[in-house]
Structure 1
């Protein structure tokens, strides 16, 4: 806890926390890995359009027992073949697989933006939780110092007969409560520091006051329009609908025949125990046309399943759109409430301060009791604590509104980070480069920059 309150190092800002969270987030690394896996699906679909080349080596032993001759013939044969195959026609399924894989990549990219928003908002929440906890601890410590003075004053006045033992006990009881509140506040701060370490990637130092709030939208309608047009969850759902529509077309084309070409070249030799050696070499080229006649209803089942999945993603898109619209409205209301509460707590502190000063002055004249002074002081303390919480809630509400609009990103906030480029890996692998090719070398560089080689 001490490292958060003491030291001469420059204060950490909210921007520093957001940058650290972005650079250190394991959740973002996880989503980036999911995206790279989706990129590889495109490479796999592209590779299906290309010819394949395989080798086959076979060593065979055989023997023949001829009872009439009373001899056994042992034969050893070796064969080596190169086999190539190319799909010439698949009813468009290979091309459709590429289209579906590309749409899945775009959906995964939107999923990465969703995760980015979550990471940044969690960092804001952790920052404000620690900042508010530090201010609360200071407030509680100041309250303990003031109440210690109140207890000493009450005891002095009791010694000269100005107050009763009850007044002293009331002051002592309020001091004990303040000390308990201080311990609780210090515990909340330790908890907040652990949350900060989880979300930001390190423990906090001295935190600076939050910067001016970022711009969101002038009206609730404008905020909703932005969200419905560009929120990554909606864009991701739209991409998934497209993927499943392509899958329906692909399942429908499964009844079409496939045409493939094969070519092979090879040689074989055989030796036997009689000293005979046979050597053969050959090559062949062929075409194969194959199509389903009866599959036990499996193709129809797969087609119906694809349509059901398409309908599911369409319904999910509608639901996601409704949820985002509701989230914007709720976030806007939360932001308005937080602002109104902040204004109200400022007025509450002003009034409570006047009441406390007047009550304390009246108590010196004998018009107020010790309990009246303690109650007025507690009202002021409660108002100040409410102000701390209201300020933190306003920050959370504004950044939450940005997240609901889909704008809580490093680009929109202008954070000084090297943003992850989702297209770099895709461009390196989308053509399924071979090892040693120019694109393969480029892929090696990308992997090295990602620390994945």
Structure 2
């Protein structure tokens, strides 16, 4: 189990996709910080001009002449813009981006829990279906012997054709159930392969979660409300919506920027040149913007209200999930003991019916019915053991504790802060921190 969970944590494509999405969200912080950084542009322009003037009067000549003029100017320039004040928009945009990163990290943690739960469920499904296949094969072997025994008794005059037919019918039914069990096993192995990337061979459950589970349902609810990643993500999304409102409201405040330009223009015909330089302080005061920004602010406030309601909704959903997982775990744990008692009783009953059949007190149908009851009880026990194991993982997931640390997995833990620290203050560069 530990190998399976570690493989799912390291290799699952869905989890790697969630990590890539978080890395993309990290870049929004650098994008937001660029709002107060200078922008620098270089320009180069070359032109060819030709002017011809007709009927131009020259007094010294006493006549009108036609003049030609050709010019090929070359201009090089450098301009910069330094924002000074933007109504706190950049500050709030940075805070909004950071809140979005925190929310996405919690969503990643939620995805990790979901994948680990899927891996544990797939693992237990393989074990369950393998055990059921083994039971079905044993049932087929037993019924095959019953068919043979029925035919032998018929040959010596101690049985009837009805006994043979009943045995053959039960044998055919058992073969059909074995085929379905093998199909279920193949499907569960395929699911296990999809989630973990491993082939299901000789699976052994070496994880005991009993000591890691909450001691009571009240304790589980308390832990979930404080720790579940879905709730934490929704709380951070409230901050995202709040800073979005403040950012949009900043568009009503004045904007101040410093602009500068330097340039040189060459006359390629005469080698003459002229230099230009200019520095401008701009103050933009919005008066009326057509109502667009006002509508955006109102819309953002509604989004903020939606985010706050979403927190309450997720708290209720997590509470329901915790109570459901706790109830399923307790029910599965209680059903295991009952199933074990049922298997033991059915084994004794089958043995007694077989002995009674030998002395003529039971029929072949009684033996077949007793065998069916035993197999049913054994399958019920296998399913109960699987349900308890899966419910334990589901309970840990519902309280937000199904993670690498709780499970003590020997795996390189993904550190989302490393990428964030590498890009949050990056001024330039096209390569990602991993070299792409």
TM-score (norm 2): 0.95
Q: What aligned pairs does 1:16-165 form with structure 2 within 5 A after superposition?
A: 16-68=3-55, 69-70=65-66, 72-165=68-161
Aligned residues: 426
1:418-437 matches, cutoff 5 A:
418-435=412-429
For residues 71 and 189 of structure 1, what CA distance do their matches in structure 2 show?
Answer: 97
- Give the stretch that moved more between structures: 62-71 or 386-395: 62-71
Provide, for residues 413-447 of structure 1, a one-character-per-residue CA deviation record: whole Å limited to 9, x for no partner: 11101100010011111112434xxxx9xx86x41
Please give the secondary structure, in 1, of the residue aligned with 2:207.
coil
Deviation per CA, 1:350-377: give whole Å up to 9, x if none.
1111111111111111000000000000
The separation in 2 between residues aligned to 1:74 and 1:401, in whole angstroms, is 85
For residue 174 of structure 1, what is the aligned residue in structure 2? 170
Corresponding residue number in structure 2 for 1:402: 396
Deviates more, 1:208-217 or 1:254-263: 208-217
Partner of 2:312: 318
Post-superposition Cα deviations, 1:2-35, rounded to whole Å, max 9, x if no partner, equal xxxxxxxxxxxx1111011111111111111111
Aligned-partner SS, 1:386: helix
Q: Report the 3-state secondary structure (helix = DSSP H, G, I; strand = E; otherwise coil) of the residue aligned with 2:393.
A: helix
Q: TM-score, normalised by structure 1?
A: 0.91
Matched, 1:305 2:299: yes
Distance 1:433 1:256 in 2: 27
Distance 2:206 2:142 in 1: 28
Offset at residue 202 of structure 1 (A): 2.5
Looking at structure 2, the residues matched to 302 and 171 of structure 1 have their Cα atoms a distance apart, in angstroms, of 77
What's the C-alpha RMSD, in Å, of the aligned pairs? 1.5
1:10 corresponds in structure 2 to none
1:206-245 to 2 correspondences below 5 Å: 206-209=202-205, 211-214=207-210, 215-245=212-242
2:186 and 2:70 map into 1 onto residues whose CA distance is 82
Q: Give the secondary-structure state (helix, strand or coil) at the position aligned to 2:356.
A: helix
- Give CA deviations for 1:227-253 in whole Å, capped at 9, x if unaligned: 000100000000000111111122222
CA distance in 1, matches of 2:267, 2:198: 70
Q: Distance in 2 between matches of 1:116 and 1:94?
A: 33
Which stretches in structure 1 are left out of the alignment for 5+ residues?
Answer: 1-13
Which one is further off, 291-300 or 255-264?
A: 291-300
The equivalent of 1:382 in structure 2 is 376
CA deviation string 1:162-218 (max 9, x = no partner): 110100110111111111111111111111111111111132111114532342100
Bigger-Rg structure (1/2): 2
